[in-house]
Amino acid sequence: MRAGIVGYGLAGRYFHAPTLVSAGFDVAAICTRTLEKKAIAHEDFPNAILVNSIEELVEEDLDLIVVASTNEVHAEHARAAIQAGIATVVDKPMGRNYYETLELFETAELHGVPLTVFFNRLWDSDSLTIKRAIQESAIGRVFRVDSRFERFRPELNPNSWRETTLPENGGGLLLDLQTHLVSTALDLFGSAELVHASVRDIRGASDDDVLLVLKHDSGVDSYLSASAIVGAPGPRIRVNGDGGSLVITELDHQEELLRKGFIPKPGEWFAPEEIKTEARIFRGESSFNYPSEPGSYPSFYEAVRTHLEIGSPLPISREFALDVARILDKAREISAR
């Protein structure tokens, strides 16, 4: 199947392109405007057609378009692909708010076009390992999870649109890293309501310190922290059950290895031992290693390809994507800051 990518920055080049190839797609066309990115795209995919605009891209013979452009033009690019009748994947967040996201799904339904969103962190080693631990009741009944993406970057990066773009145009951590945290929490523990939010900017630009608390219908409470200015970051995730705590300190190495320029062959991915995160169960003063699952980003696009071939469910449903967007919108509405 032939895929086209809009945008060839961090997301397009390092996340979507190699994952598409591993899942059996041919990256046949790439839309990017700068000469520098065109040169990089040609080096990575010498047989791909390079175009300057979404209007040119939709004229190509494509089975799928992946929107990996900046957040402020996600909706514009996705709408063009949908109206051209081409199945579409949008990098997270699909829209800058709930209503922009809903409008895209309604447009896709009107045109009978498959549409989904790339929540890749659902296929991180930590997420897959926690699912297994829950199925095995490895820590008993889960009641609380602390999940975080915390860094210490006290100075703004003037070259990062995510850090300098206003929230209403798609910048900030709420629409960036919190999208991962919320989607993962909903996937692991089910539907939830937002009961507390602190969304603020410390460095004077877009929001860079965001704390959300979700109350899941399953009885689990999720404490979700995304911050660029934490000098002592906590562990990636800690899941508390009445039989112990599962602690995962770091992400797996999928992103790290992809950023080195890895482009797989179809059906190929990293060796499992290279993309497993270390997981440990604590019970008071005693602790032991818990077997972890390898990360698997290609599983997302494998599900997309299977949907296009036989009509099986898309990896992320409309309802799930809208739940994430609803919570992010409410966070701004009720923020204590």
Q: Round to the nearest angstrom and report the end-to-end CA distance of the chain.
A: 47
Amino acid, res. 315? P
pLDDT of 41 > 90? The answer is yes
Amino acid, res. 130? I
CB 41 within 8 A of CB 50: yes
Task: Enter the pTM of the model.
Answer: 0.95
Establish whether domains 2-118+305-310 and 121-296 are of one fold. no
Tell me the per-residue pLDDT of 246-276, one tens digit each, with 9 for 90 and over: 999 999 999 999 999 999 999 999 999 999 9
* Positive or negative torsion for Cα 280, 281, 282, 287: negative
> Could you tell me which of 39, 78, 35, 34 has the C-alpha nearest to residue 57?
78
Domain 121-296, architecture per CATH:
2-Layer Sandwich (3.30)
Q: What is the pLDDT of residue 166?
A: 86
> Could you tell me which of 95, 144, 138 has the C-alpha nearest to residue 115?
95
Residue 327: pLDDT band by 50, 70, 90 thresholds?
Answer: very high
CA distance 67 to 31: 10
% of residues, the chain, pLDDT over 90: 94
Just give the CATH number of 2-118+305-310: 3.40.50.720
CA distance 16 to 9: 10
Tell me the per-residue pLDDT of 284-326, one tens digit each, with 9 for 90 and over: 999 999 999 999 999 999 999 999 999 999 999 999 999 999 9
pLDDT of 337 > 80? The answer is no
CB 68 within 8 A of CB 92: no
Q: What is the pLDDT of residue 331?
A: 98
Tell me the per-residue pLDDT of 166-179, one tens digit each, with 9 for 90 and over: 888 899 999 999 99
Tell me the per-residue pLDDT of 142-165, one tens digit each, with 9 for 90 and over: 999 999 999 999 998 888 888 888
Average pLDDT along the chain:
96
Sequence-ordered alpha helix ranges (H) in the chain: 17-22, 35-44, 54-57, 74-83, 98-111, 125-135, 161-164, 177-189, 254-258, 298-310, 318-334
Largest interatomic CA distance in the chain = 62
What residues does each domain of the chain span? Answer: 2-118+305-310, 121-296
CB 121 within 8 A of CB 227: no
Q: What is the pLDDT of residue 167?
A: 87
% of residues, the chain, pLDDT over 70: 100
pLDDT of 240 > 80? The answer is yes
Strand-strand pairing, 237-241 and 142-150: antiparallel
For residue 258, the Cα-to-chain-centroid distance in whole angstroms is 15
Q: What is the pLDDT of residue 201?
A: 94
Residue 125: pLDDT band by 50, 70, 90 thresholds?
Answer: very high
CA distance 236 to 247: 8
Tell me the per-residue pLDDT of 181-223, one tens digit each, with 9 for 90 and over: 999 999 999 999 999 999 999 998 899 999 999 999 999 999 9
